Chains A and B, each alone.
Chain A
Amino acid sequence: MPSVELRKIVIGVEDIFHEGGPVAAIPRKRGWCLAVIRNPFAGKYEKNIKTFMDDLKPLGMEMAARLIAAFGVDPDLIDGYGKGIIVGGAGELEHAALWHAPGGYSMREHLKDSLAIVPSTKKVGGPGTRLDIPVTHKTASYVRSHFDSVEVGIDDSPRADEMLMALVMTVGPRIHSRSGGLEVSGIKERDGQK
């Protein structure tokens, strides 16, 4: 079983006060936790890769916990999420798919009422590649006020034999949300969608 070899962790949180409109009483927050690890399958075709998902679980749990702590607010206020991964040039896109289960469940395990699928994106790229991680509401994917994305990246990562995994969480709707659709107050199906 390949072990997880961590090279670096980057955590960012932003407080958004306004975007040209009225200053919000409570700033919106968006945060990301990025981990850069060695890709154990880099440089070769490996047929059986699935067990690495279990190896990634502790890393996912630690990333989610650290990101929640970095927000510095009541964790129940965290209401949006997303995940993504960039695989370095010596790896394949299929390696990126290994992050779906450990990445998503680590956040859902920590956040109350997280019924919605965690939206995701992935690609293969070099150091400095940027990734736009989609964000949706944690309880109901169709909540329009929470559709967003967070751009992440690290100047020196991922190297060819690395993978950069990302978790993103948000607090509150877009700062000047006013495009209608399903609102948080209208969630009632409890099916993860509406």
Chain B
Amino acid sequence: MKSQIRKIIVIVDEVHSEQGQTVSPPTRRAAAIAVIANPFAGKFVADLSELMDVGEELGGLLGDRAVAALDVSPSQIESYGKAALVGENGELEHAAAILHPKLGKPLRVAVEKGAALVPSSKKRGGLGTPLDIPLGHKNAAFVRSHFDGMEVRVNDAPRADEILVAVAVTDSGRPLARVGGLQKHEIKGEDGLR
């Protein structure tokens, strides 16, 4: 295994009601988070390919864990997102190396398909820093009901020489979504947008 994982956290969030309205079935989101060692903490290294491989490994591992937490088949996943939080001795570019080159492909296998861009966010911060993972429909980025975000945080991470990597998936859009736009039953799911 390329990644040196200190801990993995899996979180499921279900909404049963909102503003007094019952949400049935409940909307459900799951996030899987890995806290890993940053091999490049505290120094400038030009070649970031090691972290790109870490991203590939974590895309599959975290994708599978998040889908399993919702206890649905991969095809039932509706939206996804990814994010990374680099500890203070690392660079923002380390987050980019994990998230962008190779993480998406195994994540798309974990959720079956995934024609749309995986929305992402990144930042540097200390222990307990909140990380907002953006969410968008996996096959059509314009589906308005599925634009969302899931906040995660781990009180003891990232330490200065660590990186927190997170993947979020859902089997639903927002609770009580009603601002129109492209609906999920209208999508073609071919170009990633509509």
Residues of A near any B CB (own CB < 8 A): 5-19, 70, 130, 151, 154-155
Tier of interface size on chain B: 20 to 34
Total A-B pairs in contact (CB under 8 Å)? 54
Which chain B residue shows the least CB distance to A132? Answer: B155
Asked if A9 and B16 sit within 8 Å, CB to CB, the answer is: yes
Which chain A residue shows the least CB distance to B16? Answer: A6
Asked if A19 and B16 sit within 8 Å, CB to CB, the answer is: no
Asked if A9 and B9 sit within 8 Å, CB to CB, the answer is: no
Asked if A18 and B6 sit within 8 Å, CB to CB, the answer is: yes
Asked if B17 and A7 sit within 8 Å, CB to CB, the answer is: yes
Given contacts A151-B155, A155-B130, contact A7 B6 (CB under 8 A): no
Interface of B is mostly: strand
Asked if B18 and A7 sit within 8 Å, CB to CB, the answer is: yes
Asked if A10 and B13 sit within 8 Å, CB to CB, the answer is: yes
Asked if B14 and A9 sit within 8 Å, CB to CB, the answer is: yes
B7, B12, B14, B15: the one contacting A14 at CB < 8 Å is: B7
Asked if B15 and A13 sit within 8 Å, CB to CB, the answer is: no
Residues of A within 8 A of B16 (CB): 6-9
Which chain B residue shows the least CB distance to A13? Answer: B10
Residues of B within 8 A of A154 (CB): 13
Asked if B17 and A14 sit within 8 Å, CB to CB, the answer is: no
Asked if A10 and B14 sit within 8 Å, CB to CB, the answer is: yes
Given contacts A10-B11, A11-B11, A12-B11, contact A5 B6 (CB under 8 A): no
Q: Which chain B residues in 1-49 approach chain A with CB under 8 Å?
A: 5-18, 26
Asked if A7 and B12 sit within 8 Å, CB to CB, the answer is: no
Residues of A within 8 A of B155 (CB): 130, 151
Given contacts A7-B15, A8-B15, A9-B16, contact A15 B151 (CB under 8 A): no
A130–chain B nearest beta-carbon distance, Å: 8
Closest 5 CB pairs of A and B: A14-B9, A12-B11, A151-B155, A155-B151, A16-B7
Residues of B within 8 A of A14 (CB): 7-10, 154
Contacts A11-B12, A12-B9 known; list 17 others, CB within 8 Å. Answer: A6-B17, A7-B15, A7-B17, A8-B13, A8-B17, A9-B16, A9-B26, A10-B11, A10-B13, A11-B11, A12-B12, A14-B7, A14-B9, A15-B9, A70-B12, A130-B155, A151-B155
B157–chain A nearest beta-carbon distance, Å: 10
Asked if A15 and B12 sit within 8 Å, CB to CB, the answer is: no
Q: Give Cα A12–Cα B166 distance, bound, in whole angstroms.
A: 14
Asked if A17 and B14 sit within 8 Å, CB to CB, the answer is: no
B5, B11, B69, B130: residue with the most chain A Cβ atoms closer than 10 Å: B11
Which chain A residue shows the least CB distance to B10? Answer: A13
Q: Give Cα A8–Cα B175 distance, bound, in whole angstroms.
A: 11
Asked if A8 and B14 sit within 8 Å, CB to CB, the answer is: yes
Asked if A17 and B18 sit within 8 Å, CB to CB, the answer is: no
Residues of B within 8 A of A6 (CB): 16-17
Which chain B residue shows the least CB distance to A69? Answer: B71
Q: Give Cα A16–Cα B157 distance, bound, in whole angstroms.
A: 12
Question: Could you write out 30 A-B pairs with CB less than 8 Å apart?
Answer: A6-B17, A7-B15, A7-B16, A7-B17, A8-B13, A8-B15, A8-B16, A8-B17, A8-B26, A9-B14, A10-B12, A10-B13, A11-B11, A12-B9, A12-B10, A12-B12, A13-B10, A14-B8, A14-B154, A16-B7, A17-B5, A17-B7, A19-B6, A70-B12, A70-B69, A130-B155, A151-B128, A151-B155, A154-B13, A155-B130
